[in-house]
Structure 1
Amino acid sequence: MTTASEHAGQAALSICEALLLAMNDRGLLPEHEIVGILRDAAATHENAVGTEIDMEKHRAIADLINAIIAGGNPVRRL
């Protein structure tokens, strides 16, 4: 069962993905800069410190971001 915070996280991810794609479509950010933004976000979570539970969450978030980089948008590649 999903929680309200999981729904909020999924909504935030969808909004951010849409914004990045729109910025690329409009020529505001080239693909390499968008990938750089995603890599920076993943690195932030990869380098985070905290309890073991915190680290598991950060690792899962970094893995998700890295999967987005590797797989791109399901409709089109970033």
Structure 2
Amino acid sequence: MTDDSIPAGMAALSICEALLLALNDAKTLPEREILGILQDAAATHENAAGTEAEQALHATVAALITRIIAGGNWVRRP
């Protein structure tokens, strides 16, 4: 990994979250579709193949997405 991979990942996560929020706010995608996107992303990482180190990284990513889903409040804003 390069030195900029962590900030790049954080930026990508922030951008994606903002896009999902905007799509929900604009009523372009309903909450159930957004949750489906997140669940699909988590499943992709849970089922990823690779070396032991790659699988550990994918498991960490899947766990992060699962925590985002469990938090729930990111889409359900007042």
User: CA deviation digits over 1:19-52, x for unaligned, max 9?
Assistant: 0000000000000000000000000000001100
Secondary structure in 2 aligned to 1:27? Answer: coil
What CA RMSD, in Å, does the superposition of the two structures yield over aligned residues? 1.3
Alpha-carbon distance in 2 for matches of 1:77, 1:40: 20
Q: CA deviation at 1:77?
A: 3.1
Structure 1 unaligned regions, length at least 5: none
Work out the number of aligned pairs and report it.
Answer: 74
User: Percent identity among equivalent residues?
Assistant: 64
The runs of at least 4 consecutive aligned structure 1 residues that moved more than 3 Å come to: none
| 1:39 pairs with 2:36 | no
Q: Which residue of 2 aligns with 1:61?
A: 61
Question: Map of 1:21-40 to 2, 5 A cutoff?
Answer: 21-40=21-40
- Unmatched 5+ stretches in structure 2: none
TM-score in terms of structure 2 length: 0.90
